Structure 1
Amino acid sequence: MARESERDTRTSSAKPRKSAPPKLHVGSATTVRDRNADRSSMKQVRTTIFLLGFIAIAYVAYLFVSGQVDDFFRALMGVDVGWIVSGVCCFLFYYVFGVLAYSVLASTDHDSPVGFRDLMSVEASGVFFMRMTPGGAGVIPSQIYRLTRAGLSLTDASALQFIRFTLYEAGEGIFAALMLLLCSGYFLETFADVRILGLDVIFIGIFMFAYKFVQVGGVLLLCALPRPIQKVGGIVLRIGHKLHILNDKRYERFQDVLDTQVTTFSSAFRSAAKHRRVLIVVEIITLMQLACMYALPYFVLRAFGLEADLLICLASGSMVELLVNAIPLPGGAGGAEVGFSYLFGNMFGWHLAAGLVIWRSVEYLLPVLIAAPCMGMRSTSTESIYHRWTRRYRNVWRIARGGQGSLERPAGIKYRPKAPSDKKRSKKR
């Protein structure tokens, strides 16, 4: 009996203490798939680094062959660093607005476990993989993986990501349409006789806008009619499989995406349509976010002491980004440089070579360096964003009213009153 009692005491003492469930979402095959997709995206990043190195060498060789080396260094000598720093700060607001847009969408779920640091990681991965994978192919799987790592289920993570993706793509089309309406006279006067590979620049701009319109329209059609899209997509996949265009593995993978992701995408957008005000707010934030990126050439022009019209820079910047999105290379390599040279060549003059390098550094290279260490950020608090905002708003409101009432405190945290000091104890005695 004594031995048995000793065993019982040993086993009871060896039992682990109960602790709060971890925030990490594990044990799902789909989560493993997203993790593998994230790893494959990192492999594409390595290829992109070699591609960027080759492009940099080719650009330096072009400067020497064209005889622009002297102009390049002469323009760099007169750069006002203050305007470059202002441009960097402007792009940092692009990142801030992106996190804010995710936060507004996440706040619709009052008990969402996703925190601000998690969303900073999600937005950073979007900035990184948008520039380092062909056509931004690594953005969606990397962001979904980080949302599931924060505690969301795959369905909720996919829903949040797809809604944000749809609003961002729609924002690019809306912004470009507004700029074409406001600056149509400038484009007609400046580029009426300019051609690229025998095609008018105006025609290329209309084609790029039409491409974005079709892209956004296809996404909205996918949300509205998921079943017909699945049927048509299934027919196309079967034809490709019979013609040996798709092997068995690719056919099964695309069929699985067609069966699961289309339904998830459609249901997520329909559920988000119930929060119309939230969608409008997020779309406005997205337009402000895009403006921060499209305005970068304005700061580069001012850095050289050149005159610049902010509205025209926004319009031309939006056209350059449409061209970047249409080219299936990391960051639109090649197309971005050509589009920038044609759209901003008259503004920069002989400063064009140096202006292109500075603009590309601020818009492409610097965001990659800043976003890379931010992708590992994770929130430690389990309080939802909705409850945080509600609590802080009420506390600020009570302070504004003169401090009436007690401040709210996060749930689950106990506050103990301070023990009386020794002086108070001696006075009582």
Structure 2
Amino acid sequence: MKKKYFWSIVVVLAITGYILYIDLKATPIKQLEVAAQGLNWTMLGLVVGLMISSYFCEAMILKILAQRKDEPKRSFWSYFRVPIIQTLFNAITPMSTGGQPAQLAALIQVGIEGGRATSLLLMKFIIYQIVVFAAYLSTIIFGFHLVVTKFATLSFFIVIGLTIHVVSTLFLLAIMFAYNSTKKATNKLLDFLVRFIKTDKIEHLRQNMITKIDTFYGESQKLKQEKSKLIKVILLTVLQLLFFYSIPYGILLALNIKASWLAVTQMNIMIIMFMAIIPLPGASGGAEYSFQTLFSTFILNSGGLVLGMFIWRFVTYFLGIMLGLVGWIIKPAKKQNTRKG
């Protein structure tokens, strides 16, 4: 692994460790011991199972999208290692920028040609963005009171996170359903920017953007033609997100705390919106702070809060790093496609 990624892990460990140290200093050891002794280990196992099930769904999505008559039969591990490698590189790069290239590399390693691998990932990305967009929008519509009452200090950042996602998803939908108009609008916008930015830079940007618009449009048309695949993948994506979004609720159950699944999940989705704009590897610092904001609503003693935060950080972050390292090291057999494209 590159040295810069190693240092990213060190940064996250240092920040997480420091925050835990501050919390532990302010937390009586007796409270922590009581919280640990009262843990529901069955539910704790379920929490880990939720995270792994989320990876399983993503692997199934890739397997379904890759299916075609001439596709060689690959082991399930060939697909399962893709989301865990993505998680590893999302975790150790600022704003999760390393996940997409890592997925592409993982697919190429098992014999899927680069262009086809890019196509599969684009199809998965389009569906994922649309499903996440629906989750974010429904949460804001039906859970806006939580922003006002529970997340007043984070509300500005939550709105920024939502705005970024809304704009990017609407742009994708515009490409899918209004291809020519979107292309013309993009060119007009770039023509306007020429007044403020050097022409060569704008032309380079234009070439990249038009290429991406064409690629997205081509993949969206493929999705429309394969309706049975599309339905299966949408359902699996919904399931994948339900597993992931339900992890905080599972942690509360592990701590023997009763709460509303809907309320906890809505709050968790808002926190994920906030974490999306933190420019540090693993959203360090902001992740821990936002967790405390969420769980302090339900966990009244500091011992349970610190323990809960540690479990959440381990399951959603460090577990992914460990599994991702295993996935990167253990490579399945490489099987070439019988045709390319």
What is the CA–CA distance in structure 1 between the aligned matches of 2:210 and 2:196, rounded to whole Å? 17
Tell me which amino acid in the other structure corresponds to 1:325. A
1:383-402 to 2 correspondence within 5 Å?
none
Query: What SS does the aligned partner of 1:71 have?
Result: helix
Equivalence for 2:40: 80
Tell me which amino acid in the other structure corresponds to 1:242. K
What is the CA–CA distance in structure 1 between the aligned matches of 2:133 and 2:116, rounded to whole Å? 26
Change (3 A) 1:383 1:241: closer
In the superposition, the TM-score normalised over structure 2's length comes to 0.83
Equivalence for 1:399: none
Change (3 A) 1:337 1:215: farther
Contact 1:130/1:138, CA 8 A, preserved across alignment = yes
The alpha-carbon deviation at position 282 of structure 1 amounts to: 0.8
Tell me which amino acid in the other structure corresponds to 1:345. S
Equivalence for 1:110: 69
What is the CA–CA distance in structure 2 between the aligned matches of 1:82 and 1:66, rounded to whole Å? 29
Structure 1, 235-244 or 352-361: larger mean CA deviation: 235-244
Deviation track 1:253-296 (CA, whole Å, cap 9, x = no partner) reads 85664354443232222222212332222111101001111111
Equivalence for 1:165: 125
Equivalence for 1:287: 238
1:6-155 to 2 correspondence within 5 Å?
42-64=2-24, 66-67=26-27, 70-107=30-67, 109-113=68-72, 115=74, 116-155=76-115
Deviation track 1:206-262 (CA, whole Å, cap 9, x = no partner) reads 554343222211233345356336635755886776399x7xxxx898566435444
What is the CA–CA distance in structure 1 between the aligned matches of 2:254 and 2:106, rounded to whole Å? 38
* Structure with more contact order per residue of length (Cα contacts < 8 Å, sep ≥ 6): 2
Change (3 A) 1:287 1:373: same
The alpha-carbon deviation at position 179 of structure 1 amounts to: 4.1
Change (3 A) 1:314 1:144: same
The alpha-carbon deviation at position 114 of structure 1 amounts to: 6.9
In the superposition, the TM-score normalised over structure 1's length comes to 0.67
Deviation track 1:372-426 (CA, whole Å, cap 9, x = no partner) reads 2123432466799xxxxxxxxxxxxxxxxxxxxxxxxxxxxxxxxxxxxxxxxxx
Match of 2:259 among 299, 304, 308: 308
Identity value in percent: 21
User: Which consecutive residues of structure 2, in runs of 5 or more, have no partner in the other structure?
Assistant: none
What is the CA–CA distance in structure 1 between the aligned matches of 2:195 and 2:29, rounded to whole Å? 54
Count of residues paired in the alignment: 331
1:175-190 to 2 correspondence within 5 Å?
175-180=135-140, 184=143, 188=145
Please provide the CA RMSD for this pair: 3.2
1:383-422 to 2 correspondence within 5 Å?
none
Equivalence for 1:221: 174
User: Which consecutive residues of structure 1, in runs of 5 or more, have no partner in the other structure?
Assistant: 1-38, 385-429
Match of 1:325 among 276, 281, 285: 276
Tell me which amino acid in the other structure corresponds to 1:137. T
Contact 1:113/1:151, CA 8 A, preserved across alignment = no
Contact 1:323/1:332, CA 8 A, preserved across alignment = no
Contact 2:151/2:293, CA 8 A, preserved across alignment = no
